């Protein structure tokens, strides 16, 4: 396992993968909000953009005062400075992945970075 890490994740409220997978270029978390609940704080970032993948359920995110409805299959990118807060729908839990990476840090895409 020198060149890879593998992990099975339980269904806890939040699982951060940076230490568990020894990540060096991204922060990834798996988040589960029960129906009618929300993240208890508004936040922004200094340098990291966030990419969200909605895995299941429904909810909403408030970004700089604008409400965006969310459902399974949605993907969302939020710039670092935007203030955000996530909520599950009143009648549905929501499960999502959050990927944080430094904004403007991508130096190449798969076809440019791959070695065959």
The SS3 assignment for 83 reads coil
Q: How confident is the model at residue 108 (pLDDT cuts 50, 70, 90)?
A: confident
- Cβ atoms of 59 and 34 within 8 Å: the answer is no
State the pLDDT at residue 44.
97
DSSP letter at 92 equals B
Residue 70: the pLDDT is 98
What's the pLDDT band for 7 if we cut at 50, 70, 90? confident
Note whether 82 and 46 are within 8 A (CB): no
Cα separation, 84 vs 23, in Å, equals 24
- Residues β-bridged to residue 75: 53
Report yes or no: 108 and 35 within 8 Å, Cβ to Cβ.
no
The per-residue pLDDT for 81 is: 97
For position 88, what pLDDT does the model report? 98
For residue 1, the model assigns a pLDDT of 56
């Amino acid at each position: 396992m020198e060149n890879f890490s593998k992990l099975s994740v339980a269904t806890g409220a939040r699982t951060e993968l940076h230490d568990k997978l020894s990540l060096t270029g991204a922060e990834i978390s798996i988040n589960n909000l029960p129906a009618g609940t929300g993240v208890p704080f508004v936040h922004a970032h200094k340098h990291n953009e966030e990419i969200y993948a909605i895995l299941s359920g429904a909810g909403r995110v408030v970004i700089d005062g604008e409400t965006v409805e969310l459902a399974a299959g949605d993907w969302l990118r939020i710039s670092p400075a935007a203030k955000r807060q996530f909520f599950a729908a009143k009648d549905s839990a929501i499960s999502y992945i959050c990927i944080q990476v430094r904004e403007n840090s991508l130096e190449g895409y798969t076809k440019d970075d791959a070695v065959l």
